[in-house]
Amino acid sequence: MGFVVGLDAGGTSTRALVLDLDGTRLGAGVAGGANPNSHPPEQAAAHVRQALTAALEGLDPAKVEAGVLGMAGSSKLTDPAVAALFEAAWAGAGLRCPLRVVTDCEAAFASGTASPDGTVLVAGTGSIAARIEQHELVSTAGGHGWLLGDEGSAFWLGREAVRATLLALERDAPDDLSTAVLDRAGITEGAPRDRWRRLITAVNTAPPIQLAGYAPLVTAHATAASADRIITAAVRALADLAEATRSAHDESPIVLMGSLVHAHPLGGRLKRELAARTAAPVCVATEGAAGSAWLAAVKVLGDTAPRPA
C-alpha cells in the first residue's frame, strides 16, 4: 500500500506527517518555521526538507503517492526562484510525486472537517475568514493586516488593551486590565499623566506587532469592564468575518483556527455567538499537517479517503 504526506508550514514551526491510505500514522517530523515571508526562502525550504526527512525515516519515500504542503505565505511561491527551492527540498527528501501547495487555511479546514465546502475562520495574531469549495480556497474576508484591519485578532486585542489603559489614565480610573498593561510595559510608578506619556512612548518605540503581546492580558482579566467590552467587540468582529464569506441559510461547517479560539473566555463566547447566528456545525481545527495529509489522500482516493487516525 502507498503512502501520503502532509505538511503544515508556519512562521514558528513546520510539521510533517506520513499516513498510509487507511489513515494510519506512519511517521512525523518537526523543524523550524517555513513561511518564506518571515524566513529567508532558502532557510524555509531547508526546514521543509528537514521535517520531511524526519517523518519519512524508515520508510521508502518512493512509495509516497501524493503530498500536500499547507503553508502560511504560500503566495511567495509565485516567484519561480522561491518555488524552485521548495521543489528541490521536496525532491531532496526522496519524493517523486508532485508537490502541491495549499494555503494554511485550506489545510486547517481539512483538519477540522471532511466537508468539501464551508468556512475557515482564523483568529490568531491576525484575523481572516476564507470560503472553501471543493477543498479549495475561493474567497476571503479580512486578512488586511495590522495597519488596515485584522479586527478581533491578537494584535487588535493588544492595541485595544493599550487604548483602554490610556483612557483609564486620562480619567484616573484604573482597573485590573489597565494595571496589568502598565505592569507589562514596566510603568509602575508616577502620576497618571506621566504614565500616560510613557506608555505612548513605549508602544510607539516597539515594533507594531509587539502589541499582540498585550492580548493575553485581556482574557486573563476578562472580568474587568474594559476587558469585557474588548472581548465582546472582538467576538462580534470575528463572527462578522465568518458571515461575510457565507450566503444566507448556509449550513456548511465553520472551522475555527488560531490561538484565540483556545483563549478563555473569548473562544467559548465566539463559538456561542456563531451558534446563535447559524445552524451550521462549528468545529475546531486540529493538526494542520493531518489536514494536508488527508487532502493528499483525497487526491488518491477521492472524498471517501479515511480521516487520519
Per residue in 9-56, pLDDT (tens digit) is: 988 889 999 999 999 999 999 999 898 887 899 999 999 999 999 999
Is the residue at 307 inside a domain? Answer: no
Residue 100 has pLDDT above 90, yes or no: yes
Is the residue at 306 inside a domain? Answer: no
Q: Which helix (H) or strand (E) holds 198?
A: helix 192-205
Asked if omega into 265 is within 30° of 0 (cis), the reply is yes
Shared domain for 108 and 118, answered yes or no, is: no
Shared domain for 90 and 220, answered yes or no, is: no
CB atoms closer than 10 angstroms to residue 218: 28
Residue in 216, 217, 212 with CA at minimum distance from that of residue 262: 216
Tell me which residue range forms the domain holding 22: 3-113+287-301
Select, from the ranges 69-73, 103-107, 192-196, the one with the highest average predicted confidence (pLDDT): 192-196
Model pLDDT, residue 149: 85
Query: What's the CATH number where 260 sits?
Result: 3.30.420.40
Is the residue at 182 inside a domain? Answer: yes
Shared domain for 148 and 42, answered yes or no, is: no
Q: Which letter does DSSP use for residue 278 in this model?
A: -
Shared domain for 166 and 218, answered yes or no, is: yes
Percent of the chain with pLDDT over 70: 100
Shared domain for 216 and 248, answered yes or no, is: yes
| C-alpha cell belonging to residue 284 | 475546531
Residues in the chain: 309
Is the residue at 236 inside a domain? Answer: yes
Model pLDDT, residue 267: 96
Mean pLDDT of 258-277: 95
Is the residue at 58 inside a domain? Answer: yes
Shared domain for 61 and 118, answered yes or no, is: no
| C-alpha cell belonging to residue 113 | 472537517
CA separation for the pair 30, 59 (Å, rounded): 16
> Would you place residue 233 in the very low, low, confident or very high pLDDT band (cuts 50, 70, 90)?
very high
| C-alpha cell belonging to residue 136 | 479549495
Mean pLDDT of 96-103: 94
Shared domain for 103 and 226, answered yes or no, is: no
Residue 294 Cα distances to 23, 134, 145, 232, 245, angstroms: 8, 14, 30, 35, 24
What's the mean per-residue pLDDT of the chain?
94
* Number of domains within the chain: 2
Residue in 86, 68, 74 with CA at minimum distance from that of residue 3: 68
Of the CA atoms within 13 Å of residue 93, those in its CB half-sphere come to: 32
Shared domain for 107 and 120, answered yes or no, is: no
CB atoms closer than 10 angstroms to residue 305: 21
> Would you place residue 113 in the very low, low, confident or very high pLDDT band (cuts 50, 70, 90)?
very high
Shared domain for 135 and 27, answered yes or no, is: no
The pLDDT tens digits for 114-173 are 999 999 999 988 899 999 999 999 999 998 888 888 999 999 999 999 999 999 999 999
Q: Pairing state of beta strands 254-257 and 282-284?
A: parallel
Is the residue at 119 inside a domain? Answer: yes
115, 252 contact by CB (below 8 A)? yes
Is the residue at 26 inside a domain? Answer: yes
Shared domain for 69 and 124, answered yes or no, is: no
Shared domain for 196 and 100, answered yes or no, is: no
Model pLDDT, residue 126: 86
CA separation for the pair 17, 291 (Å, rounded): 10
Is the residue at 271 inside a domain? Answer: yes
Shared domain for 224 and 152, answered yes or no, is: yes
